Structure 1
Amino acid sequence: MKTKYVLALSGNDIFSGGGLYADLATYNTNHLHGFVAVTCLTAMTKNGFEVFATDSQIFAHQLNSLKDVDFSAIKLGLLPNVEIAELALDFVKNHSDIPVVLDPVLVCKESHDVEVSALREELLKFFPYVTIITPNLVEAELLSQRNIKTLEDMKVVAKDLHDLGAKNVVIKGGNRFSQEAAVDVFYDGKVFQVLEYPVSEKNNVGAGCTFASSIASQLVLEKSVFQAVKESKDFVYQAILHSDQYGVKQNYDQ
């Protein structure tokens, strides 16, 4: 069988639980060859956990190095600033014939409103060019500029994001509404699907990255979008059950 290549545009998690480490582990578990263009570095400093964006010229060189690779899918993770996002968008536009999964990570949500507003506008530009977006509740609220307090609110926001150009949307609800169940909503412009899983006390660091890169993997393996989402939720749930103190572990015994 011909080797299939999948690209992640994602950050370097210093604790190796999420970001590019979760992406590559997920691709490997699905027997795909993973590539990474690094968008940022992270570290613990006196100010707490900080994100340091890759120099935009270096990021552009990374993407140029990969322009001739025959990718079967792309997963977009943490895009730390507008400059990086613009370069990523240009790259995605040149790969419109393959599945693209956008995990719209918004950093510094509480303290940098101007930066988040600019990045929000940039992320909205991706919507027409990606196969699916996978925001969590906070990201969905920021993107839609609506509050989410109920399952019905999740459905309203999913429709709003679809109306803004996203072809398929899955909002990760987590356990905000219940400590017993984690609830997600999928919407394809026609039908809402609600996915519900028990809440686990195990470490879920890297779960969002793993979820998005698993969807990309399943799309490469020719699953429908909803089936890719469903199988990825199953996969992440099992991975969390087998996690350690640093985050999700993909290579569990199945």
Structure 2
Amino acid sequence: MKHVLTIAGSDTCGGAGIQADLKAMSALGVYGMSVITAVTAQNTNGVFGVQEISKEIIEKQIEVIFEDIRVDAVKIGMLSSIEIIESITKMLKKYNVKNIVIDPVMVSKSKYKLLKDEAIEALKKFVALGTLVTPNIPEAEILADMEIRNEEEMIEAAKKIQNLGAKNVLVKGGHREDNCTDVLLLENGEIVKFPGVRIDTINTHGTGCTLSSSIASLIAKGNSVEEAVCQGKDYITEAIKNSFSIGHGVGPVGHFIDLYKKAGMNYE
């Protein structure tokens, strides 16, 4: 079995962050492990508080994993401060980590800032460690320092992010109203487009976390970046189609929908 590590924040309601990552990893047949960078207080209505984990504990979490267990891929999510970004950079370089998927989390769906403003430049430098970086359009606009209104500008932004050092860049199109195609810029300069289907649901909590962790899992299993993105897109699409409500706001996607059905659970 392949082993995949997620380095990200914790979500109390289980739809995003570490919890979503571990669910997606399990669903895709890899062993998931976690390093928690922050504890959030959130539910389906939004994020109501964040407590960062100290850099010493973050570094110790990474150390004990790599000193004991083979890590086949790493997914990185919420990194809220310069100090945390610098600590994780140091540790990833120390262990010469390969197969790094970076989801540059900046703002929650409820508009709560998960990345401090002063840490944006540090995050731009950090993406150079990425085998793949997976920004949505608002995140790509910040990383590329440009406005994105169409597919051509998505490609332009991907090239600018690649110039920051990232090997491959996936700019996700879900925030566009006219078209939700994702654009993948590969290391060799090839551009691959993944047409999307707009699914009529409000329950999309954790989609970015789930996609990036599923891609990391598929890369760990030996797929190319393009293959992993393609299969990861298929997985998240089905998960969104089978999303469900658990509270009064934005519910989670169906990571384990087949298991729920087998168990006779009514998730609607």
TM above 0.5: yes
Is 1:49 equivalent to 2:54 in the alignment? Answer: no
Unaligned ranges ≥5, structure 1: none
Is 1:89 equivalent to 2:89 in the alignment? Answer: yes
Deviation at 1:191, TM superposition (A): 1.5
Is 1:115 equivalent to 2:124 in the alignment? Answer: no
Which amino acid is 1:14 matched to? T
Counterpart-to-counterpart distance in 1, 2:19 and 2:2: 19
Deviation at 1:96, TM superposition (A): 3.3
CA contact (8 A) 2:25 2:32 kept: yes
CA contact (8 A) 1:175 1:183 kept: no
The range that moved more, 59-68 or 161-170, is 59-68
Which amino acid is 2:116 matched to? E
CA contact (8 A) 2:162 2:168 kept: yes
Write out aligned runs for 1:33-48 (5 A).
33-44=31-42
Deviation at 1:165, TM superposition (A): 1.0
Which amino acid is 2:10 matched to? N
Is 1:240 equivalent to 2:240 in the alignment? Answer: yes
Counterpart-to-counterpart distance in 2, 1:124 and 1:177: 27
CA contact (8 A) 1:205 1:247 kept: yes
Counterpart-to-counterpart distance in 2, 1:211 and 1:96: 24
Judged with a 3 Å threshold, the aligned counterparts in structure 2 of structure 1 residues 72 and 48 are, in CA distance, closer, same or farther, namely closer
Q: Which residue of 1 aligns with 2:10?
A: 12
Judged with a 3 Å threshold, the aligned counterparts in structure 2 of structure 1 residues 44 and 26 are, in CA distance, closer, same or farther, namely closer
Which amino acid is 1:215 matched to? I
Counterpart-to-counterpart distance in 1, 2:216 and 2:173: 20
Q: Which residue of 1 aligns with 2:248?
A: none
Q: Secondary structure in 1 aligned to 2:258?
A: coil
Judged with a 3 Å threshold, the aligned counterparts in structure 2 of structure 1 residues 111 and 27 are, in CA distance, closer, same or farther, namely closer
Counterpart-to-counterpart distance in 1, 2:95 and 2:129: 9
Deviation at 1:55, TM superposition (A): 2.1
Is 1:126 equivalent to 2:126 in the alignment? Answer: yes
Counterpart-to-counterpart distance in 1, 2:51 and 2:97: 31
Q: TM-score of the superposition, structure 1-length normalised?
A: 0.90
Q: Which residue of 2 aligns with 1:32?
A: 30
Counterpart-to-counterpart distance in 1, 2:164 and 2:149: 21
Q: Which residue of 2 aligns with 1:210?
A: 210
Which amino acid is 1:160 matched to? K
Superposed CA RMSD in Å reads: 2.3
Counterpart-to-counterpart distance in 1, 2:97 and 2:56: 26
Judged with a 3 Å threshold, the aligned counterparts in structure 2 of structure 1 residues 253 and 94 are, in CA distance, closer, same or farther, namely same
Is 1:161 equivalent to 2:165 in the alignment? Answer: no
Equivalent in 248, 255, 262 of residue 250 of structure 1? 255
Deviation at 1:106, TM superposition (A): 1.4
Which amino acid is 1:21 matched to? Q
Q: Secondary structure in 2 aligned to 1:125?
A: helix
CA contact (8 A) 2:40 2:47 kept: no
Q: Percent of pairs identical after alignment?
A: 33
Judged with a 3 Å threshold, the aligned counterparts in structure 2 of structure 1 residues 193 and 177 are, in CA distance, closer, same or farther, namely farther
Q: Which residue of 2 aligns with 1:102?
A: 102
Counterpart-to-counterpart distance in 2, 1:111 and 1:67: 32
Counterpart-to-counterpart distance in 2, 1:111 and 1:21: 19
Counterpart-to-counterpart distance in 2, 1:186 and 1:223: 15
Residue correspondences, number: 247
Write out aligned runs for 1:64-79 (5 A).
64-68=63-67, 69-79=69-79
Which amino acid is 2:216 matched to? A
CA contact (8 A) 1:175 1:199 kept: no
Which amino acid is 2:130 matched to? V
